[in-house]
Chains A and B, each alone.
Chain A
Amino acid sequence: DTGVSQDPRHKITKRGQNVTFRCDPISEHNRLYWYRQTLGQGPEFLTYFQNEAQLEKSRLLSDRFSAERPKGSFSTLEIQRTEQGDSAMYLCAASRGGSSPLHFGNGTRLTVT
């Protein structure tokens, strides 16, 4: 158990619908990351937070994607007007910053039909 929990584990949605995922890290982890992973690939960086501040966003994060970490604890990732290409595993990771390793949740698998 890495201490990072993600909800839901699986989400099936129809194209055009909005979806929201949640990530809960343990309290000592002030850095929180979102990654997307497709079959046969490594995780692709989407965005990360230092406490409540969103410090970097990948160009992969189109206008349809938004992430928040309102109180510097849990985070949400929302995808609006989902497309079939959004189908992937969405991974959340957290760390204490510096050179400390990232600890990953088990991910949310999104299927867009």
Chain B
Amino acid sequence: SQELEQSPQSLIVQEGKNLTINCTSSKTLYGLYWYKQKYGEGLIFLMMLQKGGEEKSHEKITAKLDEKKQQSSLHITASQPSHAGIYLCGADAQGNNDMRFGAGTRLTVKP
């Protein structure tokens, strides 16, 4: 089965700093999804990447997909306390909307 490894496991940054979270897949990526989760709540969909080299941005968050490396990165520019939470990557293991998730990266932003 597909495994997704996220790094780092946790991250503490000062407000205003940039940061990057990585997600590496053990198998071919048919689709890569980024979600954010606050403690005790469900996952909120952020972005979906489907093609190699694809890059998407929403406000200060940018995600890229490197299909050859089977890897995706999530970059946050000028972090704010509202960015704090757990970021999870999910991948479509077989191209049929059968999604598996990484263990998540816990982000803390210090004011």
B interface with A by C-beta (< 8 Å)? 4, 30-31, 33, 35, 40-45, 48, 50, 88, 90, 92, 97-104
User: In the complex the two chains form, what is the Cα distance from A38 to B42 in whole Å?
Assistant: 13
User: What's the least CB distance linking B43 to chain A, in Å?
Assistant: 4
Are the C-beta atoms of A102 and B33 separated by less than 8 Å?
A: yes
Are the C-beta atoms of B43 and A104 separated by less than 8 Å?
A: yes
Size bracket of the A interface: 20 to 34
Q: Which interface residue of A89, A95, A97, A104 has the most chain B CB atoms within 10 A?
A: A104
* Known A-B contacts A2-B42, A91-B43, A106-B42; A101 and B33 likewise in contact (beta carbons under 8 Å): yes
User: In the complex the two chains form, what is the Cα distance from A2 to B43 in whole Å?
Assistant: 9
- Chain B residues, CB < 8 A from A102: 33, 43, 45, 90, 97, 99
* A34 lies within 8 A of chain B by Cβ: no
